[in-house]
Every structure is written in structure tokens, then in C-alpha cells.
Structure 1
Amino acid sequence: MPYGFNNRILHVDLTGKNISVEEPGENFYRTYGGGPGIALYYMLKDMPPGVDPLGPENLLVFAPGLLTGTVAPCVPRYTVCARSPLTGAFGKSEAGGWWGPELKAAGYDAIVIKGQAEAPVYLWIDDGKVEIRDAGKIWGLETGTAAAAIKEELGDERVRIAQIGPAGENLVRYAAILNELGHFNGRNGLGAVMGSKKLKAIAVRATGRVEVCDPQRLKELSRWVSAEAKVHPLSKALHDMGTPGGVEGNNAAGALPTRNWTNGTFEGYEEISGTRLNQEILVKRGGCFSCPVRCKRVVRVSGEYDVDPRYGGPEYEALASLGSSCGISDLRLVAKANEVCNRYGLDVISAGLTIAFAMECFENGLLTLEDTGGLELRFGNKGIFLELLRLIAYREGFGEWLADGSVALAKRIGKGSERFLMHVKGQELPMHDPRVKTGFGMQYALAPQGADHQYAQHDPFFVPGNPLGQKAGRPLGILEGVPATDLSWRKVRTILYTSFLNFSYDSLGACVFGFIARSVTPYNILLEIIEAVTGWETSLWELMKTGERLNTMARLFNCREGFGRDDDRIPERLFTPLKSGPNKGSLAIPPDDFRKALDLYYAMAGWDEAGRPRQGKLLELGLDWLAGV
């Protein structure tokens, strides 16, 4: 019998209302893992090039990781993939929480969805039974109300629900998918793909469990990780402060994106910091299935901005994108804006950066009050912020201009506004400045899904003298630390290797907050966990080759869709010095050095000068079936 996976892929055709199950066999899982590996296989095999991202031919794949659903620590994650309506490229977004483990326990390793329903529906998966149900009564509802209605209809409060809100229904191109109201597949607009299929939600209930090969050994390993997580400096910091702790650290480094990246420090940073959040609005530390780190923030606010703790709390990305990027220093307003995004189903990063871009355009006279419907789009204007988010979600008034993202907005405005854009491949940048940590520039340029801060590991873990980075790097052959602002071959190699590593983590369902270099669990313990779950004799070599295989497949998908070297670029603003903070007037990325670094990454990855994987590399990775793509 299979261990760790079910050998069952659920296929759902919403047009024909057909449901089928495929059993691909053990070699399939050992080749592609779970998560994005499963999605890429079906997207490259069964989806023709050039499909409309919001059309019925686009595949929407939900796929937990290979280890997800077991009691292994820190592996709760699942991936959603499709062709992105925001970028037109490979769309990929991960989430933690409880939904992915529930799907695995219900007997399925992935759901591959095609077609388009005639009227709103939701999927109901009750252990192995699958039903397409009418969602007419819940279409249009905010996420909290919709989740309650589904649970009432099914008569079970323990149902796990992945769903979209009004933003996804209205095809906002950066609409999110969320589960349990506080865990998000936020990026790439995959909520809009779900909305285009008129699929409101996927509700899952499982009474079984995922079988593992050696349950006793897995329990022992889990206990070790749980004990270490309490004392390990990185996992302990994540538990104590969560990602909001990044506000203070990035501001001190001059790397906190402020007013649409025009500055690297924010005078109001203390007001939106992790310390202030812990002191004033935190009510508990939440977490995901079988995770001892518990990095999630759950907040409550009363008064002018009532914030419901059911929706969790803001992460660092929300505090910076909805806060400093827009010049907002009111913690309670930012927490409310985060909750509003969760109610509507909006990606906080793209929402915040699209608004910040519009604010810079307004302040430079490129947008007028007539354009905005009378809204003063000035940095720091608190009075318009929540209304802007509502307008976006419902595509009303000026929200219609904002709902397709900053690149589409720049095309609509014209007048040279594109010089203020902060995006890669059409996706707005996460809240990390490559001028201070140059590896982020390479991550943003090379990530197949557009600007992404988890495509590879972060520069500070591998700087000289960092013992935790040395522990992570040496088994990969990275024997010397690399300065954060370096762009030499050593930095390129570090990004290459750790981009493979992070793809392999995604295939396992592993959260980077639970594993080296970002946290507690080293490679040898991870390999033992894989063996205890699957029974496979495996190695770091096999793990890295899986990651390289998926990285290559994602690149090939983008090549097939017309993306190439010219799309591997970063905003011009990053080639200019910072205007404030400790790095004022310095640390601009040298354009020639950046282009040379990309050339070197291509060569190291086995891609040609245009960025296309060479046939020899495809064959070496066992991807002979893609050699002619």
C-alpha cells in the first residue's frame, strides 16, 4: 500500500459535471512529489498553450504536499496553480492551515479542475465521496458569512473550507483563496480563476488518516522538532513575534518599502511594528496543522476599527504593503484593512502596492479627483483606505481601475506613469528591498510566478559568520558566506541551489518557517521524516533533483506561454540609490552586474541564452516527454 500519499488524483469537469479518479502510481509521486509538481505535470500535459486564464480551458489545481496530512511537523501546506490572470504566466500560491491535511485524509492527493459551471457551485468532499452542490445562496457573500452558511447546510462545524470572496467572484485579478478565514493562497490572482469557473468553495471533511510507513519513528522525530522549536533562535523568534517582527528589522536596515518604494525607512514604523502589535492588539498565537512553531498572529480591535479575530491578523507583508507603502502608520487601521482583504478575498500585497502606485501617480498629477471619483489619493490619507478596498472588490467606481493591478492601471493612465511601477511579470513586489539584499532581485526576476520572496532562501541566512546559514549551506556545497549585497558567482550559486531547495519544500508541503535555513529542522532530520512517512530510502541529492525538476518545468511552462529573457527584469527604481535611512545615496543595484548574474544563473541551470531549458537538461531530469515543447 502507498504510504504518505493516497495514489488518487481527483478530476472535476465543471462544464460536464463529470468526476473521475486517477491512480498514477508510486513513480509519479517519487518523480514530481506533491504540490506544484502535480500541478505542473497536468498543466503541461493536458492544457494547451495560450488559454485564457479566465476561460474554461485553464486548469485549476489544488495539491497538498507529499508529507501533508501526516503528523510530521511543519508540513501543512498545499499549492494552488493555474495560468495566472495577473501575469499570464505560471500561477502558483501556497497556503498553510488545515484544509490541505483534511484533503489528504479524505483520500485525495490533488484536485484537477477544468471547465466552467453554468451557475455558482461548491465542491463537497466527504471522505471519498464527491458532490457538486448549488452555491446560489452563498454567491456574493463575504468569506466569514459564506463559511458559516456552508457549515450550517452540511450540518458539521468541523468542515474545512477553501473559498473565494466577492473579489474572486468579480474577477479581481489579484483575488485570493483562503481557508479557515486566516490562511491564504494570496498571490497570482488564483481566486479570480476560481471565480471564473463559478466555483465558490471546496468543503472537505475527513474521518480517516494518512497512513505512514513507520509511525513510531515519525512520532519520535516530531517530538524532537517540537522540543527544538522552543529553544532554536529562529523558530522561537517566529513564535514570539511572528513575521510582524520584520517591520523593525527592515526599517533599521533601511529596507522597509515606504510610499511606493520611494524610501527605505518609515517615520511611523514603530506604530505598525510587531512589538506594538504584541502589546496592543494580539489575543493569541495561532498556527497550522501539526506545527510547533505557531507563528500566526490573531488580533482583536474594538472601537473605530472593529477587527474580528476569526480572520487572524496581519503578517509582515500586510503591515508593510497596507501600512508603510501607503504611508499609513495607524496599526488598528492596518489590522482592519487586513481583515477587510480577508473578508473580500484580496491579496494584501497586490492590493496595497496597486493603491500605493495610484497614490504616487495622484501626488505627481497623473491622476485627478475626476479620475478617482473625488478620492484624495495621497499617502497617509486614512479616510479613504477601507473604501478603496471595497471599491476594488466590487469593481465599483475607481475600484474598476485598480482591480486589474498596477500594470493595467499604468496602461490606462499613461503619461509616463510606468516609471512608478514596482512589479515583475505583472505581479507587485513583496516587501523586501533588493538594494539591501541583492538575492531578492534575482528571486523577483527569476520566479516563474512573478515577483516572489520565497522562490529561494533569503540573503541574510548565508552572510559570512552566520552559523545557522553555514549549517544550511555546507550540505549544499556552499562553504563560504556571501555578503548580502554581493552579486558574484557565489550569490548566483546560492540562489540557484536554494531555488531548487524551496521548490522541493513546496513539493513536500513543508513550510520554510519550519526548516533550515529559515528555522529549526535540518536536512538530515527532514530526510528521516520522509523515510518514516514513505518508506523510501532517499537523500538530499534526490530532494534537490526534485526541486530542480519542478523549477525547470515551471520555466518551460512560461517559455511555452511566450515569456523569456526580457521578462526577467526588475523595476528601474531598484537601480537607483535609496533616498533615506542608513543607506541613503548608496546600494543601487548595478544594472550590468545584475544582467551578468542572470546570464550566469541561466548557464548554471542548464538554460540557453534566451532562458529556455536545454534538451540535455530536460533529459537529465527525466523530462523526455517535454523535450519537444
Structure 2
Amino acid sequence: MKQMNGYIGRIFTIDLSSGEKDIIDLDDQMIRKYLGGRGFASHWLYENLPANVPPLSEKNLLIFASGPCNGTIVPSSSRGSIGAKSPLTSILGSGNTGSSFSVQLKRAGFDMLVISGKAQRPVCLVIEDGDATAVPCEDLWGKTVSEATGKLRTRFGYRNVSIGCIGPAGERMVPISTVIFDKFRGAGRGGLGAVMGSKNLKALVVKGSKGINAAHPDRLKKEVLRFIQILEEEPYYERYSKAGTAVIAEPMNKMGSALVKNGTLGFFEDIEGVNEKALKQHLFVRQKACFSCPMPCTQQYGVTEGPYKGTYGEGSSGASVVMGFGPRCGVSDMRAIAKAHTLSNELGLDLISTNAVLAFGMECFEKGLINTSSTGGVRLEFGNAEAQLEMIEDIAFREGFGRVLGEGTKRASDTIGGHSERFAPQVKGMDMMEVEPRGMPSWGLMFAVSSRGADHVRAYDVCQMMSFSDEALIRIAGTIEVREMFGPKGKGRSVAFFENVRAVADAMEICRFVTRGKLGFPEHLVGMLNYVTGLAFTAEEMYSIGERIVNVERLFNLREGMKASDDTLPHRYLSESLPDGAAKGKRVPLKEMLEEYYMARDWDMASGYPKPQKLDLLGLSADRVRRNLD
């Protein structure tokens, strides 16, 4: 193995069925084309997972990938990517977490971990000093995330140790389960906790001791200081450092971009119960930064009063939690929202999908499509915080009506019927987050085209939320008209642009919030990347890497049966207008945005495939692609 900077140079593979292990040298071409992190994971899945493998079968691959900046002084470089075929969507499953896991994986001797097979009994995989061992852990099966993590900490220590764990939901292969790292940090979407559960894999314990080299440490330090100086001058830095994304609750409501009561309303009357002031009034909150991050946008929180007193947790109490378990479900009690957050994490559930299925179930209850006979006596009504908590437990343990909701809103609507698919908030089987697409059409397009189904962080288009110069908007979208909230112009190009630059950040494994504005552009990242790796990337090459990652993910999904017609939104957002709020009367102009997006991508409108010239430009041989698609 040759000496590398920013990379360890090794990929570890293990088959839990046979116990077979292998160490593969990291290929230079893989670095130049996919960079790391999400790029490595998506590329590996496309090249090595056969088509049409059942997501919960032994053949599915579960990948944990680090990036070149993990373990260096690059700001907010604590992210890590997970990849597998999703049991929720049957297309690309992809998660990202902010913990020390990827750093410790590199310190333990590997850039990427690839797991296949299924252990005969529950195990945890211990990765340390250049090896990985499956250790029996039947005593942990059935434990919550904090219980299991605590026992593993006692067994393996605290210093330089990171733990990724599933809860009861993952053990039961609930399609909306997730993996929780270091007790509080979820890996997001697509049911990857169920993939771990299907392999009888309760946890991963990574213990690292190796150093991670930077090619030019002195130059890197100067570039990092420059980056941080620009970051601290960005308007969002101070706002997010005070209360995370909870600061946007009230603005979202005013803009008409908050999803209220599953999209039946455009304005939440009780917003004062869930705004930044309520967060600090009803909870003990201390701002905290993720590992290696200069922006403390996450919180440690505790409930100090009322029926949920003693509830404690950590993680962003921002939009996905506050607006998801709050206005989306008609709940206006911050303490109840904190309880729902903590309970979901403890049981190993994806927060966004959980509040999505709850809100969907509440609308079905309101419309009479289900009743207390369906729900086991639970009055699943908007605003009923206790019903919300009961149903979270039922989902995680596959009990009662939780069996239905735990399948995600798409399959739940198939079971419930009554045209409920028209208001089931999902795309390609992935449950939407709490942003109202009719109030923010560019995000509607993001949901429609994302490579993992309805998703906001694949593009995280901020053109209408940040003050970009005219010059920057022309570069991003081809027109300054993209600033207009409800119009379609420029939004297809801007979503494609941001998908590409976000893919670069995910490959480097740098956080989305720190790079949300101009700092996410390749010219602000290329210096740090080159000083870490010693490689001479250009900003243009980095942008092409992002575009290549997006196209490979597209090819994976097409191979798994996705069609161009799947790039759409539910009936509600295309055909029904909001009754009130700033977006009153609006619908999502998807057709115009989608046409512009496909043109920007150079994809065929009829088939959804990247055109041959685009594949050639990105170094993705058309012949090779056709073989993979056959």
C-alpha cells in the first residue's frame, strides 16, 4: 500500500454469512472520478451490486464511506456516507451522518467498509487496527439506541471510539428505520437501519489510532482560517449558531413554505408555540457543534417541566423536528415535540419519515378513511401529541396500525385506499420533509428529481433564501428571475447546479449547513482539498465530479426500474391550491421546471436517461452503461 495524503488507501469488505474478509487497495482513478464519501458509495453500489437484488436480502451491500477531509482540520469535515439499496424505495439508499464515525474509520485503517451477507445471530462489527471482527451481541438485541450504545461504550471505551447502532425499529426491519451514530446522530433517509437489521448487525464499533496526513499542513491551516473568516461573515452563521434551523420556523410560516397539517393549510396559527422563543422558553437548550465544526447549530436539549419532564436529547431541534412533529402534525407544544424527537431516536426511526407518516395518518383519520378500530383505539387526530407518541412506538415495534405506517406513506396509502395516494407526501416511495412545495416550488422540483426520492439535501437550493449577487445567479441559474419565489424560470438550472456542488461536498464529507451559500462553490473548497491530498484538482474538475456522482446515481435508479415519469409530485401539489397563507392559490409549476432541469442535465425527456454525449463527457462509457442497464 502506497503512502497517501487525505486517504488511507484501503477498502475493507466482509461477508457476514461466510466470514470472508478482504482488503482492496483504493484505486487512483476512483479518487479522481468520485473523490470519496458519497461518491465512493454510489459508484461502488453501481459497479458491484447486481440489478434487482431484494433490499433486505443477504446480497444487498451496506457501505460506510469516508471522505478525504475526515480527520483533518478542514471545517465541518465530520460527515460520513452510507449506501445500500433502499428497502423503502427499492432504488438508491443513501444516508449521511455528522459524528466522528468516518474519522475513526480512517484512523482504524480504512476509507470504506463494504458489508454483505447475514450473520447467523446478532453481532456487532468491531473495526480496529486494520481488521474487523464480528462479535456476538445477543444481549444487545432489543435494546434502545442509548442502552446499546452505553453498554458498548462500557465494553470498548470512550476515547477514539465511535458507534453506529440500530434500535428496535431496525431490528424489525421497519422500512423507515435508520442508523444512529454516537447515540444521537442519525444517518437519515431510506430505511438503512432495516438493511443493518436484515444482516443481524446491531452495531458497528470503530476504534482508531492511526494518524491522517495532510500533504501541505501549513498551507491548509491558512486556507482553513480564510474559509472560517468568510463563514463567520455569512448572515446564517450567527442565526444558526443561536438556535440551529429552529430560527426558520416563523419565517417559513410567513412565506407559506411550512407544510401545515399534511398540506391541508398554508399557515399555522399556533406558530408561537414552536418558534425560537418557545424553544428556549420550554426547553433547556445548549448549542453544540458537531465534531470538527466551527458552527454550533445543533442542540443538547432537556424538558424541565410538564408531563415530559426529564426528556433529554441531542441533535438539531430545527425544521425537520420542530416543523415536522409540530405544524405538520398540528402540534404546538415544544415539550411534546422534544419527546417525539427523543423517542424516535431511541427506537432508531428516521425523523422525517416518521413525522410524515404521522401527519398522513392524521389526515386519513380526519377524512374518515381510518378510525379507532383501524388504529387500535388511538385517536390519531391533528394536534394530539399523545397519539403521536403512541404511534411512534407502534411503528418501531410493528404493532397495531404502526405496521401500516411504518411502511412509509406510499405503501400505507396503498393499504388505506380511498384515493389517499393523492395526498400521501412521497416521491418514488420516499417521504417528503416538512417544506410545502407550493410555497417553495424549487424545493418541489428537488423532491421530484432527487436520486433517493423526495429529498431536500441532495440539492438544497437556496436561491430564494440567500442574497446572491446578480452575477452569481446568472452563473447558477442563467437568469436573475430565479429569485422570484413562485415562478419557474431558472429553477431547473439552479437545482441541477446545486445538486452538483452538494455532491462534491458530500464526497469531501463537509456539512451542508456550513457550505449552504457561496462557500459550497468549488472555488472555495478546492484549495483545502488540494492541500489535504496533494493532488492538483481544479474547481472545474470538482464540479464535474459532482455531476458524475449525480449521473451514476441516476443510472443506478434507472437500472432498478425507475422511469422518467417517476420524476413527479403527488396530485395535491400539482392540482390543489393552498387555501390560505402567503402561497394561497398556488400550485407547483413542475412541468416547466422539469423541462429546464432535463435540458440542464442533458437527459432525455422521454426515457429519463443521460444522453450518450453527456456520458462520454463525464467519462462514463455508453457501452459500459448499456451493459449495466441490460
Q: TM-score, normalised by structure 1?
A: 0.95
Task: Verify the 8 A CA contact 2:223 2:528 in the aligned structure 1.
Answer: yes
**Secondary structure at 1:332 match in 2:** helix
2:413 to 410, 414, 417: 410
Q: Give the letter for the 1:619 counterpart.
A: D
Q: Give the letter for the 1:455 counterpart.
A: R
The match for 2:600 is 604
Task: Verify the 8 A CA contact 1:97 1:287 in the aligned structure 2.
Answer: no
The match for 2:588 is 589
The match for 2:338 is 335
Task: Verify the 8 A CA contact 1:232 1:520 in the aligned structure 2.
Answer: no
The match for 2:23 is 21
The match for 1:127 is 129
Deviation at 1:155, TM superposition (A): 4.1
**Secondary structure at 2:14 match in 1:** strand
Alignment of 1:153-168 (within 5 A): 153-156=155-158, 158-168=160-170
Deviation at 1:230, TM superposition (A): 3.5
Change (3 A) 1:72 1:403: same
- For 2:551 and 2:67, the matched residues in 1 are separated by 19
Task: Verify the 8 A CA contact 1:75 1:290 in the aligned structure 2.
Answer: yes
- For 1:469 and 1:85, the matched residues in 2 are separated by 42
The match for 2:498 is 498
In percent, how many aligned pairs have the same letter?
Answer: 33
Q: Give the letter for the 1:497 counterpart.
A: F
In terms of mean alpha carbon deviation, does 475-484 or 354-363 score higher?
475-484
**Secondary structure at 1:387 match in 2:** helix
CA deviation string 1:254-298 (max 9, x = no partner): 221111111121112111112321343143111222110111011
Q: Give the letter for the 2:545 counterpart.
A: T
Change (3 A) 1:626 1:19: same
- For 1:312 and 1:559, the matched residues in 2 are separated by 34
Pairs aligned (count): 621
Task: Verify the 8 A CA contact 1:181 1:312 in the aligned structure 2.
Answer: no
Task: Verify the 8 A CA contact 2:259 2:266 in the aligned structure 1.
Answer: yes
Change (3 A) 1:211 1:442: same
Deviation at 1:469, TM superposition (A): 5.5
Alignment of 1:75-90 (within 5 A): 75-90=77-92
1:433 paired to 2:433: no
**Secondary structure at 1:78 match in 2:** strand
The match for 1:34 is 36
- For 1:145 and 1:24, the matched residues in 2 are separated by 36
1:145 paired to 2:141: no
- For 2:342 and 2:458, the matched residues in 1 are separated by 26
- For 1:472 and 1:19, the matched residues in 2 are separated by 49
Deviation at 1:382, TM superposition (A): 2.2
- For 1:34 and 1:442, the matched residues in 2 are separated by 27
The match for 2:184 is 182
- For 1:538 and 1:588, the matched residues in 2 are separated by 42
Task: Verify the 8 A CA contact 1:8 1:110 in the aligned structure 2.
Answer: yes
Q: Give the letter for the 1:341 counterpart.
A: S
Deviation at 1:213, TM superposition (A): 0.4
Q: TM-score, normalised by structure 2?
A: 0.95
- For 1:504 and 1:55, the matched residues in 2 are separated by 31
Task: Verify the 8 A CA contact 1:34 1:508 in the aligned structure 2.
Answer: yes
Change (3 A) 1:66 1:610: same
1:617 to 614, 617, 620: 614
The match for 2:523 is 524
In terms of mean alpha carbon deviation, does 519-528 or 277-286 score higher?
519-528
Q: Give the letter for the 2:591 counterpart.
A: R
Alignment of 1:292-303 (within 5 A): 292-303=294-305
Task: Verify the 8 A CA contact 1:164 1:191 in the aligned structure 2.
Answer: yes
Deviation at 1:473, TM superposition (A): 4.4
- For 1:214 and 1:32, the matched residues in 2 are separated by 22
- For 1:476 and 1:579, the matched residues in 2 are separated by 33
1:538 paired to 2:537: yes
CA RMSD of aligned residues (A): 1.9
Change (3 A) 1:399 1:179: same
- For 2:531 and 2:310, the matched residues in 1 are separated by 42
Change (3 A) 1:484 1:454: farther
Unmatched tracts of structure 2, length 5 or more = none
The match for 2:514 is 514
Change (3 A) 1:418 1:163: same
Task: Verify the 8 A CA contact 1:47 1:58 in the aligned structure 2.
Answer: yes
1:314 paired to 2:310: no
- For 2:104 and 2:373, the matched residues in 1 are separated by 49
In terms of mean alpha carbon deviation, does 360-369 or 480-489 score higher?
480-489
Q: Give the letter for the 2:616 counterpart.
A: L
Deviation at 1:84, TM superposition (A): 0.7
Alignment of 1:63-142 (within 5 A): 63-142=65-144
- For 1:345 and 1:325, the matched residues in 2 are separated by 21
Task: Verify the 8 A CA contact 2:352 2:431 in the aligned structure 1.
Answer: yes
- For 1:382 and 1:477, the matched residues in 2 are separated by 42
Task: Verify the 8 A CA contact 2:143 2:168 in the aligned structure 1.
Answer: yes
Unmatched tracts of structure 1, length 5 or more = none
Deviation at 1:521, TM superposition (A): 6.4
Deviation at 1:604, TM superposition (A): 2.6
Q: Give the letter for the 2:573 counterpart.
A: L
- For 1:6 and 1:346, the matched residues in 2 are separated by 32
The match for 2:553 is 554
- For 1:231 and 1:278, the matched residues in 2 are separated by 25
- For 2:444 and 2:506, the matched residues in 1 are separated by 21
The match for 2:565 is 566
Q: Give the letter for the 2:402 counterpart.
A: G
Deviation at 1:484, TM superposition (A): 3.8
In terms of mean alpha carbon deviation, does 368-377 or 299-308 score higher?
299-308
Change (3 A) 1:521 1:382: closer
Task: Verify the 8 A CA contact 1:272 1:331 in the aligned structure 2.
Answer: yes
Task: Verify the 8 A CA contact 1:501 1:547 in the aligned structure 2.
Answer: yes
**Secondary structure at 1:588 match in 2:** coil
